[in-house]
Structure 1
């Protein structure tokens, strides 16, 4: 006698994300978005940005073996973040950005898990998706920006570059899929507490 499956333990990534995403992942209320100093410290004090930037730096290391290619990926992410900041400042708030910021942490974790064994097209798609999600991080800051936005954005770009380079160099010492487990664990803790 065959029994039909009433309950399937398979849960889609969007469904899991909906269960753990905070109501608002916008770029950290209470953080100043108006000065050079606040731009320097924000990527470090904004835990979601810290995780994403370090993880993307590691992803660039795993995807590209040539240093020049790794650096070009980091520059692409930096351009996406700054462009996002400008777009957020120009366009204003839109729905979905909060979810995209939170989802970026899960996406970069999954990309790190797959990247060591994935095909070249899959690696390229993972990097492109992460760069697009870094745009969303910048967008949220553009929406909240006030005061000297250009100084804030320039300083944020400096710290973001340093964090991505740090993640890139740390990946050289931990060339393993388990990096993704650390990133995913940190991300889930942040998303559940935020």
Structure 2
């Protein structure tokens, strides 16, 4: 009986799109939100870098940094929706690329009490920028889209870092990748 109830709930949820006055806008909002982090080099590098950096951190820090980033990013979008302005949003995003790249290049292991607020502060800027690009999309579906894309980018960065061998060559490649990311961030700050 529980299986039938679950199947009925799924069927009703799937069919509920027909109840909207203008069907299709919610999926467009989700897709627009999902593609936003993928379309800009600044967002793409920062979000991959969070995963790369988190992969070489101890214990719970490995998942707390990406999760904290996504939550703070949603908070940044919420601030934007409330009309709260953040100063120097683009510079904050560029700084995130620079600093995260340097953390990877230096193989830094900051304590969670330092790394989580740092990552969360950067995420506020990313979320605020995502909201600014939202246009007429639905905030909930748009935010769900960019949150999922961000989590997937974090996961991709994490998987790449864990896939690379823990050898001198693998560590050198990671450090060079961090320097490249930092260099792009530095160029963005200088532009």
TM over 0.5: yes
Write the distance in 1 (CA, Å) between the matches of 2:35 and 2:124. 19
The answer on 1:151 being equivalent to 2:145 is: no
Q: Equivalent residue for 2:4?
A: none
Q: Equivalent residue for 1:129?
A: 118
Mapping for residues 61-140 of structure 1, pairs under 5 Å: 61-64=55-58, 66=59, 68-116=60-108, 118=109, 120-121=110-111, 124-140=113-129
- The DSSP-based 3-state class of the residue aligned with 1:35 is helix
How many residues get paired?
155
Write the distance in 1 (CA, Å) between the matches of 2:155 and 2:181. 16
Q: Equivalent residue for 1:179?
A: 177
**Offset of 1:178 from its aligned partner?**
2.4
Closer/same/farther in 2, CA of residues 193 and 151 from structure 1, 3 Å limit: farther
Write the distance in 2 (CA, Å) between the matches of 1:95 and 1:186. 21
- The DSSP-based 3-state class of the residue aligned with 2:37 is helix
CA RMSD of aligned residues (A): 2.4
**Offset of 1:63 from its aligned partner?**
1.8
Q: Equivalent residue for 2:43?
A: 49
- The DSSP-based 3-state class of the residue aligned with 1:62 is coil
Write the distance in 2 (CA, Å) between the matches of 1:106 and 1:72. 21
Write the distance in 1 (CA, Å) between the matches of 2:122 and 2:128. 10
Write the distance in 2 (CA, Å) between the matches of 1:43 and 1:144. 11
Structure number with greater Rg is 2
Q: Name structure 1 gaps, 5 residues minimum.
A: 1-33
Write the distance in 1 (CA, Å) between the matches of 2:114 and 2:151. 22
- TM-score when normalising by structure 2: 0.71
Write the distance in 2 (CA, Å) between the matches of 1:124 and 1:59. 15
Q: Name structure 2 gaps, 5 residues minimum.
A: 1-27, 165-169
**Structure with more of its chain in helix, by fraction:** 2
- The DSSP-based 3-state class of the residue aligned with 1:58 is helix
Q: Indicate if the aligned counterparts of 2:74 and 2:127 stay in contact, CA closer than 8 A.
A: yes
